[in-house]
Amino acid sequence: MKNNGLRNMLPLVGIYALRMLGLFMILPVFALYAEHLHGSTPMLTGLALGAYGLTMALLQIPFGMLSDRFGRKPVIAAGLLLFSLGGVVAAMSDSVTGVIAGRLLQGSGAIAAAVMALIADLTDESQRTKAMAVFGIGIGASFTFALILGPLLDGYIGVDGLFWLASVFGIVGIVILYLFVPNPQHSHMHRDVEVEPMKLKQILANRLLLRMDAGIFFLHTMMTATFIALPFALRNDVHLPTEEHVWFYLPILLTSVAGMIPLIIMAEKYGKMKQVFTGCVIALIVAEGLLATTHHFMAGLVVGTFIYFVAFNALEASLPSLVSRMSPAAGKGTAMGVYSTSQFFGAFCGGVSGGVMYGAFGVGGVFMVNAGMALIWLLVCRDMRFPMNLSSKMIPVGNLNQAEAEALVGKLKQARGVEEVTIVREEGVAYLKVDGNQYNPDAISELLSPDYS
């Protein structure tokens, strides 16, 4: 079955993409909708928008651990059911506190870690990197489509209809899970995608990884706060009717994705990661500053939002790659778990801070605070080293006793391009950190054969 792992995991990508679609469709339209909810204030509006991030941050690692104990599918199904119930609560609420409760419930179905663990169960080690790349592309695509579909569908079914649709997505996800996702032959803990509690201290002590965690926190704080202010700028400052907001977002989002691609190629193929990273953070400062000072003009909103999304998309795509390169050989899953927690917590803080800033200082104040946050991010990362050529590899080594494992570690460390080796005997896998310019997989295969293959 694992020979078909990439095909088997595509339904899982669809399930998670549907969930993210349901979460994010309300981003561009909720702030205006919330004005009509009982008890609405700017701060509570922001809290409702970002509340899902709090429960996702708190529960995504525990959900992954529960899936190791109780099975992947039951935990994923339970998470999707919680997500659907949250959508129902939010859709039926006529008060902002009810919507907050619904959004918290939506976020409590934190299935990301369990989904990635099931993908790992269904794929060979040789397919794992490609599988996770497909998973990441699915998430990125769902985010872009959500920002387009939200304003488009809002004109037909309203925001409460978007919540109902999100609930339907959750139920559809459960059906797909049990009808189209095969049961894995073996299910166990995968250190390349799952959090290992014993490694948390090591990961949290890594200053490079902490800077990446801070970066994704800032990025998603700014993102959620931006969607508190931008709908009001479109409606109140440039007098664009709410039902026409989709025609503002559609061309900007599509062209910004196209604008991101050369940056990713420059960073990954031509080794300009530091320049692209720094340039994108500077672009966020420029974009938010431009939005803060020119939000009364359509041209200013178009240019500022375009620059913002080019930088956001490029950073969103490149930061996970950097975390992978900076993480220990057998600690990638733990590093990514902490990173994802920081991301979700940033979404929560962005909603709250955006609401507070909008209530106190208006649209311009939100954008200006975001520009200041991007400046802090630039200062935090100004002297950061970028390990351009390092990547993680997993090599099956079979059943080894302690002496054989220690001997193999010594041999692998002497291989050209191998920087770090960890063998996990229970999994029969060697986790390697390698220099891509020097690493030779054929030489490693020869080293393993015939004694350890």
Q: Assess if residue 453 is contained within a domain.
A: no
- Look at residues 242, 46, 89, 228 and name the one whose alpha carbon lies nearest to residue 156: 242
- How far is residue 295 from each of residues 171, 232, 243, 310, 361, measured CA to CA in Å? 40, 10, 19, 18, 14
Question: The dihedral of CA 218, 255, 166, 178: what is its sign?
Answer: negative
pLDDT by residue for the chain (453 residues), tens only, comes to 455 657 778 899 999 999 999 999 999 999 999 999 999 999 999 999 999 999 999 999 999 999 988 999 999 999 999 999 999 999 999 999 999 999 999 999 999 999 999 998 888 776 777 888 888 888 889 999 999 999 999 999 999 999 999 999 999 999 999 999 998 887 777 788 889 888 899 999 999 999 999 999 999 999 999 999 999 999 999 999 999 999 999 999 999 999 999 999 998 888 888 999 999 999 999 999 999 999 999 999 999 999 999 999 999 998 998 898 888 877 889 999 999 999 999 999 999 999 999 999 999 999 999 999 999 999 998 888 877 677 778 888 878 888 888 888 888 888 888 888 888 877 788 888 887 778 777 777 777 765 544
pLDDT value at position 91? 97
Q: Are residues 208 and 158 in the same domain?
A: no
**Residue 205: Cβ within 10 Å count:** 9
Q: Assess if residue 155 is contained within a domain.
A: yes
Q: Assess if residue 135 is contained within a domain.
A: yes
Q: Assess if residue 204 is contained within a domain.
A: yes
Where among 190, 206, 233 does a domain terminate? 190
Q: Are residues 322 and 415 in the same domain?
A: no
Q: What is the CATH number of the domain that holds 410?
A: 3.30.70.100
Return d(Cα 276, Cα 315) in angstroms, integer: 9
Return d(Cα 149, Cα 31) in angstroms, integer: 16
Where among 146, 172, 190 does a domain terminate? 190
Q: Are residues 49 and 163 in the same domain?
A: yes
Q: Are residues 335 and 425 in the same domain?
A: no
**Number of structural domains found in the chain:** 3
Q: Are residues 350 and 225 in the same domain?
A: yes
DSSP character for 429?
Answer: E
pLDDT value at position 127? 77
Q: Are residues 134 and 265 in the same domain?
A: no
Q: What is the CATH number of the domain that holds 356?
A: 1.20.1250.20
pLDDT value at position 410? 83
pLDDT value at position 15? 96
Q: Assess if residue 402 is contained within a domain.
A: yes
Q: Are residues 380 and 432 in the same domain?
A: no
- Look at residues 370, 371, 368, 384 and name the one whose alpha carbon lies nearest to residue 278: 384
pLDDT value at position 449? 65
Q: Are residues 154 and 247 in the same domain?
A: no
pLDDT value at position 409? 82
Residue 101 tokens read as: 């409760």
Q: Are residues 313 and 420 in the same domain?
A: no
Q: Are residues 73 and 138 in the same domain?
A: yes
Q: Are residues 217 and 364 in the same domain?
A: yes
What order of strands is seen across the sheet that includes strand 418-424? Answer: 390-396, 429-435, 418-424
Where among 137, 158, 190 does a domain terminate? 190
Q: Are residues 362 and 224 in the same domain?
A: yes
Domain limits for position 438: 393-448
